[in-house]
Structure 1
Amino acid sequence: MNGKLALALILALQVSVSLCELPTPNKELVDKYDNMRNTFNRRILNAYAKLQESLAPIVEKLRASTPAQSAKDYVVELQKDSYLQTALNISKGLVEGATPVVEQARKAGLGVYQQFLRPEIGVHLDKIISLVQIYLDKVLPAE
């Protein structure tokens, strides 16, 4: 009985260790992902610039009013607050600390996608992404 339990424990440990070893994605997939991510970020920045440009007249009108000045004064006072500065420094440290973890998770996700999902759905997903990019180029261009 003890031998069976020991064998079951050894097999369970081997399975759990093999599940922890995630495949690494190839350079082509990482480059493709980074290219799509950068394009999406450019789309967002372009949309933000257009929104800011279209809202500029409204902001100028609001800036002339007295409530806007009081809100601006309040923001300036908040920036001087030591508690807010401490919270901002802590959140900045958390973001800097989490960046490597996020990058590892991204690579692990791409590796799992490449090994298990890409052979099954890769072609279909690529077609869908191409179709979505056509519409995004019309609605939310990158440049």
Structure 2
Amino acid sequence: MAGGVSPAAASVSCTGIVGRSLSTETSSSSDEIEEFLDRHLSKESNTPGTPKQSVATTRRESLSLYRDILRFSRFFTWTDNNGIPFRDLIRESARKEYEAARYEKDPHVVNKLIVSGRDCLDKSLQNMIDKQREILEEQQKRPDGNSS
């Protein structure tokens, strides 16, 4: 790779860093390693900076999901029975959902909303990909392009 680091080199350098910090030269037992990991990877912490970091992370994840919804919505080009493009309906619905949850303070509820939203988006995207694949396969079976 020109101007970059190959994936193999990146994994070697990461292994080197982890290997040095947890090497057996310091006579680390498995209990010490577990304690080290628990201390540095604990989910709940009483340090003052932790809530701000989790709020920032939640905000980042939420914005990322919202942007992905907007990107995904442009694939819906057809209209509903009233002539309104589904793309606009999806965007409006997402905006309403975000506005409804805007002042939610409980981090567990916020995380649940983000996870369920991401799951719904992923399933919808997969369904759309599967349907497009079906349509393409049907078109390839009929070279003249007729539906019957």
Normalization by structure 1: what TM-score?
0.29
Normalization by structure 2: what TM-score?
0.29
Considering Cα pairs closer than 8 Å and 6+ residues apart, tell me whether 1 or 2 has the greater RCO.
1
- Which structure shows the higher helix fraction? 1
